[in-house]
Amino acid sequence: MLLVVTNVGALRGIGVFLGSITLAAALLAGAAFWLVRSRKDASAPPALSPRARFALIGGVVGSLALGSAITGIVAAATGGPGELLRAKHLPPPNLPPKPELPPEQRADFKLKREGHVFVNGGLLHVPPKFRSDDGAFDLYMHFHGNTNLVEEGATSAGLNALVYTVNLGNGSGPYEDKFSVVGVLDQTIDKIQDTAKKQGLRDARVRRVALGSWSAGYGALAKLLDVTKNVERIDSVLVLDGIHAAYVDPKAKTVDPVRLSPFLRFAKLASEGKRLFTITHSNIGGTEYASSSESADALLREAGAERAPAQATPPRVTTKTALAAFNKGAQETRLEQTTEGRKGGLHVRGYSGQTPDQHMAHLVQMSVTVLPELAERWKE
């Protein structure tokens, strides 16, 4: 027992000794029993014959040798509890990869991938390389911005998810009105799931959900993140140059914490590593309301994170839709990073620029800024 329960040298030595003695005693008891049974007169114990003494001594020596051998083998095999405990924390063995399912056995074998499907005020898209073996799928819901740009961005970033895009016009008001209705998120997700089934995805069911927005689309996020039940279901939030709020004190430029509260709560969860919240913002100044950079500053302060200087130029996106999104002559517009703040799953990137094209660049280049983070998080 001491061999199994400890790997301390002294105690293991005691274990060897006790094990040997125990085995010797057992063997001696057997020998004594045999000698007693073989006696002719049990009333007076006679002296042992030389032959019996030789057998007894040989039994003791043999039992000690056998006990030592057995305990040594046990010691080598067990290595004590230290080895047993360490074995629980060893990395899993290199198992062979799961065999590739034939296409006809996958849940997405008959899934229609062309075009868009209108669902509850938005457009559902299946990326060309989307895959689901068992019908479970992730869902990226994006609010405001060219539908083709969003879809191309998701495909380029390698995001294995269905993409749902909603456009309700200019300003955050229409998004706030539509998505302030109780239960609208669950209703929309259920309809997307039913649509996926109708499009040929066998046993379709939504797994993880991410929300994204550009510019005025943040209005939808503000309302959806203000519902606890929604937050429990939302895994990630991506915001492209768009969180705004009123000033409590315009002269001091103090951002209204009530208006920011849905984002502040999600930022705290992200800073604790429980969610992904990734934000980009320009340097466009606010007038009657807080700019996207001022709102991001408030989120960082609440999460206890700080900015640091950063210089990076995301790769240029050269798809036909991306180039057509800019004003004529501005095709070379790209994001130029100036600051960065990060804590846990909260990630804020600040970029220079105050023009409409520089604001548009946040949407155009989402495939090389925020979407790769989501794709990596959702990688199987």
Domains, the chain: 2-38+48-88 (no CATH), 108-377 (3.40.50)
- Distance, in Å, from the CA atom of 61 to the CA atom of 68, rounded to the nearest integer, reads 11
CA angle 345, 375, 215 (to 5 degrees): 70
The per-residue pLDDT for 1 is: 47
pLDDT of residue 153: 96
What pLDDT score does 202 carry? 97
φ, ψ at 233 (rounded to 5°): -95, -20
Lookup: tokens for 128: 């060309």
Q: Along the chain (380 residues), what's the average pLDDT of each consecutive run of 10 residues?
A: 46 58 62 56 55 62 60 54 50 71 92 95 96 97 97 96 96 96 96 98 98 97 97 98 89 88 97 98 85 94 94 87 80 86 97 92 95 94
- What Å distances lie between residue 160 and 18, 101, 138, 233, 365, CA to CA? 62, 17, 7, 18, 18
Q: In the numeric block, which tokens belong to residue 164? A: 């749902």
Give start and end residues of each alpha helix (H) in 162-256. Answer: 173-179, 184-198, 218-224, 228-233
d(CA 135, CA 351): 39
pLDDT of residue 33: 57
Where do the DSSP E strands lie in the chain?
117-119, 122-125, 136-143, 161-166, 205-214, 234-240, 245-249, 254-255, 276-281, 289-290, 307-312, 337-343, 346-351
The pLDDT value given to residue 79:
53
Judge contact between 179 and 149, C-beta under 8 A: no
Q: What does pTM read for this prediction?
A: 0.75
Q: Which residues of 177-206 are buried (b: 16+ CB within 10 A; e: fewer)?
A: ebbeeeebbeebbebbbebbeebebeebeb
